[in-house]
Structure 1
Amino acid sequence: METRWATVDGVHLQLPDDCTAAELRDELHKPDDATLIAVTGDLVSVVHDEDQPLTEMVAGCAETYYFRRPDEPQRNDVLGASEIDTALEDPSADETTFQRPGIGH
């Protein structure tokens, strides 16, 4: 099984290529209501399908992941993005991807 390095909530660790959001949550002892947010360059992805391997989504290319709980204080610009709340209210696919806040083209 292949592995890669990523940062999850500020900790740099190895992730198996085929890991899912649910497996990552379980291994890191995150609460069930925490949503996985992936940051890939200038894109942010909100993962809705907990059981699909991350490598089958844009989220699988991420260098940085965060677990975000409902109503938690804003930790950074990414987690404070209003697009996350919108994506959580009406998930229409396995993940919702949008432009990273603060990056303009």
Structure 2
Amino acid sequence: METRWATIDGVHLEIPTDCTVDQLRTVLHKPENAVLIAVTGDLVSVVHDEERPLSELVAGCGDTYYFRSEDEYDPGRNEILSAPEIENALKMPSGEETTFQRPGIDH
């Protein structure tokens, strides 16, 4: 199994490329309602399919991940987690993941 390095909630960890959101959440002891948000260059993905390997999703290319749970949500935590697109993705999930432009990136 291949592994790679990524930053998850501020900690640099080695993770298997084919792990799922559910597996990652379990290993990191995150709440069951925590949603995985991946940052890949200028894109942000909110993952809705928790059983599909990350390597099959845009989120699998992420170098930074955040788990966000409604219980622990702090809108001031950072610019990415306070993006309104995340709220929209959580209310109306579209497919396996919802991807949008990273906030603060000018094109």
C-alpha distance in structure 2 between counterparts of 1:98 and 1:46, whole Å: 9
What runs of 5+ residues in structure 1 fail to find an aligned partner?
A: none
| Structure 1 residue 100 corresponds to structure 2 residue 86 | no
Deviation at 1:33, TM superposition (A): 0.8
Match of 1:83 in 2: 85
Deviation at 1:76, TM superposition (A): 0.1
| Structure 1 residue 52 corresponds to structure 2 residue 52 | yes
Q: Provide, for residues 22-66 of structure 1, a one-character-per-residue CA deviation record: whole Å limited to 9, x for no partner.
A: 000000000001100000000000000000000100000000000
TM-score with structure 1 setting the length = 0.98
- Match of 1:59, SS? helix
Match of 1:66 in 2: 66
Would you say how many aligned residue pairs link Structure 1 and Structure 2? 105
- Structure 1 segments of 4+ aligned residues over 6 angstroms from their partners: none
- Match of 1:98, SS? strand
C-alpha distance in structure 2 between counterparts of 1:92 and 1:37, whole Å: 14
C-alpha distance in structure 1 between counterparts of 2:56 and 2:70, whole Å: 26
TM-score with structure 2 setting the length = 0.96
Q: Provide, for residues 44-94 of structure 1, a one-character-per-residue CA deviation record: whole Å limited to 9, x for no partner.
A: 000000000001000000000000112611210000000000001111110
C-alpha distance in structure 2 between counterparts of 1:18 and 1:93, whole Å: 19
* Partner AA of 2:49 in structure 1: D
Match of 2:3 in 1: 3
Report % sequence identity: 68
